[in-house]
Each structure stands twice: as C-alpha cells, then as structure tokens.
Amino acid sequence: MRMYDIIMKKRNGGELSKEEIHFFIEGYTRGEIPDYQVSALMMAIYFRGMTPEETAQLTIEMEHSGDVVDLSPLGEHTADKHSTGGVGDKTSLVLCPMVAACGGKMAKMSGRGLGHTGGTIDKLESFPGFSTAMTPEKFLENAENVGFVIAGQTANLAPADKKMYALRDVTATVDSIPLIVSSIMAKKLASGARTIVLDVKTGSGAFMETEESAFELARQMVNVGKHAGRNMAAVVTDMDQPLGFAVGNALEVKEAISVLRGADVPDLRELCLVLGTNILVRSGLAETEEEARARLEKSIESGTALDKLAAMVRAQGGDPAAVYDTSLLPQAPVVHTVKAPCDGYIAAMEAKDIGLVSMHLGGGRATKEDVIDLSVGVVLAAKDGAYLHTGDTLATIHAKTEADAAAAEEELLKCYTFSDEAPVRPPFIRGVVT
C-alpha cells in the first residue's frame, strides 16, 4: 500500500477503505509518511469530502493514535461537553458544577486558548494556586470525589490530530467539515466519557458562520459519536454577540460564579440548562427533560452547584475562598467606562471584534508563547436590542494602563451598529441535534 495511491484515489473522488485510513494515520503518527503527502491528502479531502463511514473511521483511527482514557471506574454517568468556541464562552464553569450537583461525573480535558480570549484552563488559573496538571489516578479520584475535574490535555491524547491540525492551519484546510469532525471527536472519544454533548456556535463570532454549516457539523459529530457507541446530542447556539456580558479570563470566572449564585445572565444560564438537561437525560440521571431541568435549577437555588465549584477548586490546589469572594480574583488596575455615542437601539455587535479588543488588552494570545493577563477584558452593559441614550454606559473596560483603555474604547466603539428601529433577533438556541 502506498500513500501516493491513497491521495490519487481521494483526488479522483473515491471512498477510502478502513485499511487505507489506518495505513495513513498509523504511518503519519509514526513519522513514516511526510507532511507534504498528508497536506496533499487533506486538500483532496477538502474538495472531495468524505462519506459518513470514512469520517467515522478517520475519527476512530485518530482516537486510537495515542492514549485512550478509561473512565469505567467512575460508572455509567460520565459525561463531557465540547464547544466549538466563541467570545465570552465560560459555559464549563457553570455547567460542570450543576451536573456534578445532580450526580453526574464530568471528567474534562481542556486546552489553552489561542486567539481573542483564554481557554477554560486559562480562566481557571484565575484562582490563586489552581493547577490542571495531575496524574491519571488523581484525575479519576477528583472526578469521583467532587463530581467533576478539569485537567490539561495529556501530551499523547490523539497525537495524530495534533500533527494534522498543525498542517491544516498552514494549508487552508482548517474549515473542512470531515477534518473538523475527526479533530474534535477523536479527542472527545479518547477522553472516555459515555455521554458527550456539543455546543456548536453559529454567527459572526463563530467558526461556522452560517446556520446551515453549523447544523451540518453538529449532525456529523453526533453521527460519529453514535457510531462509536456514545450517548450524543448537539445544541446549535447563536454567536452573533458574546455569550453573557464578560469577555476576559477572570471577568468571565466572576460572571460564571454570579450565574451559580442566581444572577440573571439569560443566554449563559439558558445554554447551561439546555446542555445540562441533555447530559442528565442521555446519561440516565433523569427520565424526562422536565425533571432534568428542575434538578439543575434546584442546584443553583440551593447553592450546591456553587459549592461543587469550590470543592473542585480546592481539590486542584486553588483557593476556594475566591468562589465566595470574587474580589480575590485578579483585578485590573484601570477600570474605564465607555459611553453610548448616540441614542438608539443596538442593532448589531461584531462578536469576534469584541473578542479582539480583549486580546489586544492582553486577555488572549496570538502565539502559544504569549503570556495572558488574566485581569483584563471587557464587560458589556447592554447587548443587541437594548435601547440606549447618549451617555448611557455601553461597556466597562478593564485594562493595565489608561493608554490601553483609551485604545480599547476606540476599537470597541467600532464593534457596534445603532439603529432607530429595534432589531429582530433569531432565537438564541437554534436547535438540538440527537
């Protein structure tokens, strides 16, 4: 078997066999197949696509290219959640404690963010002393005792994906749906959870900008997960504006804590309730969606979800006092108020550009080597559909210096469109794929 023949077959629109996909992934992982041939194959996949069977097989081969986590000691109620990314996405910090308070076992591996804001790992490091490095034994122990754990990804989790993604990033093949599906699902399957729920973003601040492409991605990921024997659901949600009001690491942690205390952050709360409902039902922890949602809401009202977050922080070396007193989280020295420049409704917001404002303040990283300032970012005072008068508070900028704040204000104001007429917004939850 030759890689040359596999490339030609896919270039000509053929369907690759299980054996050919195995040969390609095994050989590339071992370093026996050069980057230029893999780049050629990925471009062929980009233009020719893959059948559901090919995509599923590619995912399984990538899953087994490295370590596969065994969560069976935790029982049948293990769950994981994945988001396709977006601005202000602090969902895991709310969802995981809620599910844990309802008897689930959320065993998550997360990475660091590259782009406008930090990843979940970066956000959690806002807690003084918090660590995501742990042995496999400690990972299972924390998941069992606390109900959830969030650790950094092991170096050998789906190594084929790491190698392929680096090539996709420089060969204009990142947005191939079969390659996206296999990249995401290989890591999720290798992480071992029985139930996997996906949050697929759509809109100007999302990777999948159109609703059609978001639903296609959701369907393919759900199908691959089912093929692998997992309980699956995907929720397609709006990302034309940031999720919640806070954009920036410690600021997002603070907002997540406020939701666990019962604060009214409608989109973030609703998303976590919908994701959590699907987890509880599909993992067998609730018989109906109504029962699941009621239990999740009760976890907030009773304070048990907030206590679970504190227990997780404590178990991973952080200071749980910061859960109950958010003034202990990193705070920027400069807090600058941005005023509305005119009367009118907020007709549109450029979510991705608002994320870039946070990044330029130091809240994200352009390269893996960049150091994030956990304290900086933007807190919105109003979102799409709100009517503001000139001089009303539009947002608050948290910055390192006055000069940074002034530059951020100029950049932020360009992210808004105002109108005399109230905008018509599509529903935040676009649909659920099962």
64 is known as an active-site residue? no
Tokens 């890591």 correspond to 187
Burial class (CB in 10 A: 0-12, 13-18, 19+), 16: buried
Instruction: Give start and end residues of each alpha helix (H) in 30-176.
Output: 35-48, 52-63, 91-101, 120-124, 136-146, 159-170
The residues, ordered by sequence, that sit 6+ positions from 391 with a Cβ below 8 Å of its Cβ are 339, 340
Q: What is the dihedral angle through the alpha carbons of 41, 43, 49, 54, rounded to the nearest 10 degrees? A: 20
| Among 90, 168, 194, 308, the one annotated catalytic | 168
Strands, sheet with 416-419, edge to edge from the N-terminal-most edge strand: 387-388, 344-349, 416-419
187, 227, 365, 430: the active-site residue? 187
DSSP letter at 423 equals -
State the pairing for strand pair 393-399/377-380.
antiparallel
Q: What is the CA radius of gyration of the chain?
A: 22
Q: How many CB atoms lie within 10 A of CB 284?
A: 13
Q: Which entry of 161, 199, 307, 404 is annotated as an active-site residue?
A: 161
Residue 231 forms beta bridges with which residues?
A: 195
Residue 305 in 3-state DSSP? helix
- Catalytic residue (one of 176, 183, 358, 375): 183
Q: Name, in order, each residue with C-beta under 8 angstroms of 208's C-beta and a sequence gap of 6 or more.
A: 84, 200, 201, 202, 214, 217
- In the residue annotation, 17 being an active-site residue is answered as no
Beta bridge pairs of residue 398: 335, 377
- 187 a catalytic residue: yes
- Is 168 catalytic? The answer is yes
Closest residue by Cα to residue 98 from 148, 50, 141? 148
What's the CA gap between 260 and 98, in Å, rounded? 8
Tokens representing 190? 């290798």
Catalytic residue check, 430:
no
Catalytic residue list: 82, 161, 168, 183, 187
